[in-house]
Structure 1
Amino acid sequence: MDKLNLRRQLLAARTALSPEQLRANATKVREALLEQPWVQMAGLVACYWSAGSEPETHGLVFALWKHGATVILPVLKEDNDLDWAVYDGPDTLAPGRFGIMEPVDTRRGVDAVRTAALVIVPALAVDRTSGVRLGRGGGSYDRALARVGPNVPTVALLHGGELIDGVPAEPHDLRVRFAMTPEGLTRLM
């Protein structure tokens, strides 16, 4: 299946999830991820503020922050690259481009993600064999992942059924090391 049709199929499946299922998925993902020692020890975490039917990260970001991690969230630039700014609590966010909430803190630059000890990214699907991540097609997170060090854990958050075989890949598509679904954490590479 090509990327466009796979995206459509996955987005339709997400739209069909009930609010109760979305909340249950978010709780399972958050709790399982926070149990990982390498998550607990990460001093600087790059994450994202979820929107719509994405796996919800609001509780995860808040929990990481309350446990002492510095959390940076993306700020979408005009060229669709990602700048980063520090999350300093729920009152420090404002709508950015496309209405997605972004931190109002000083922008740290596109290279700020290089210093993260853990990088959590959105995905529509991840290939269970190769770790190739399917995003929404803008390339923002592929650019960000290209800046991440080779030993830094990169985790894509997914709903059930989104860790699949046969995600189409192009040379610019980058892999993630882990996929987190409501069923648990899967190491990919």
Structure 2
Amino acid sequence: MPTTVREAKRALRERIVARRRDLDATALASAASRLRDVVLALPEVAAASTVAAYVSVGREPGTGPLVEALSEDGVDVLLPVLLPDGDLDWAAYAGPQHLVPAARGLLEPDGDRLGPAAVTTASVLLVPGLAADRRGHRLGRGGGSYDRVLARVLASTTPAFTCVLLHDGELLDIPVPREPHDVPVDAVATPSGVHRLR
């Protein structure tokens, strides 16, 4: 049995990552299209002029169709750029041809950097995760990048609507282990629907 929050987080991460390994390309592509439709139907997204999102990699819930649809609808899409200290800078999405390989297997926009505070201009923040519970506590990869971003957004004068994108089955009925620095999100979106949490 895990004896600390960090050990409990690590054990849960390992279980979810192992389960994600079983997802095949066809299932991932289908889920990405359904996730796009679910997120675009959110009233907060429909009203947004700027959305901060991310480029999915590996077995993460696919964001490619969603990012492209937002851009085609005239929404300014901000994408993260990982800084050496683990914080996130931001740059505007300018099409898939402007995404370049970066550290940790990520894809990042090659445009001008807007600064870490640029995320506070977005009215919607879509974040990655491995799981979340019904109180909005999210399990990330453990680097703390999005904890910083969520804290920055929460402290802004007009906090964004925050939503973690997950696969079906990753919204848990049991509490996600949490530490004092963990910031909850407002909602979870999966290919089967949206769950408002707080």
What TM-score results when the alignment is normalised by the length of structure 1?
0.96
For 2:5, the equivalent position in structure 1 comes to none
Number of equivalenced pairs? 188
- The answer to whether 1:146 aligns with 2:165 is no
Note the 1:78-93 alignment, pairs <5 A. 78-93=84-99
SS at the partner of 2:11? helix
Corresponding position: 1:167 with 2:172 = no
Which blocks of at least 5 consecutive residues in structure 2 are unaligned?
3-7
Map of 1:73 onto structure 2 = 79
Shift of 1:24: 1.7
Confirm or deny: 8 A CA contact 2:120 2:159 kept in the other structure: no
Letter in 1 for 2:10: L
1:8-59 residue CA offsets vs partner (Å, 9 max, x unmatched): 0000001111212111211111101111222122111100000000000011
Give, as a single letter, the amino acid of the residue that structure 2 aligns with 1:90: P
Q: 2:48 aligns to what SS in structure 1?
A: coil
Say whether 1:103 aligns with 2:109.
Answer: yes
Counting aligned pairs with the same residue, the percent is: 49
Alignment partners' CA distance in 2, 1:144 and 1:13: 27
Higher mean C-alpha displacement, 37-46 vs 70-79: 37-46
Give the root-mean-square deviation of aligned CA atoms: 1.1
Counterpart of 1:137 in structure 2 is: 142
Q: Is the 8 A contact 2:188 2:195 kept in 1?
A: yes
Runs of 4+ in 1 over 2 A off after TM superposition: none
Secondary structure at 2:175 match in 1: coil
**Match of 1:20?**
26
Is 2:193 the partner of 1:187?
no
Provide structure 1 residue ranges, at least 5 long, that are not aligned to the other structure: none
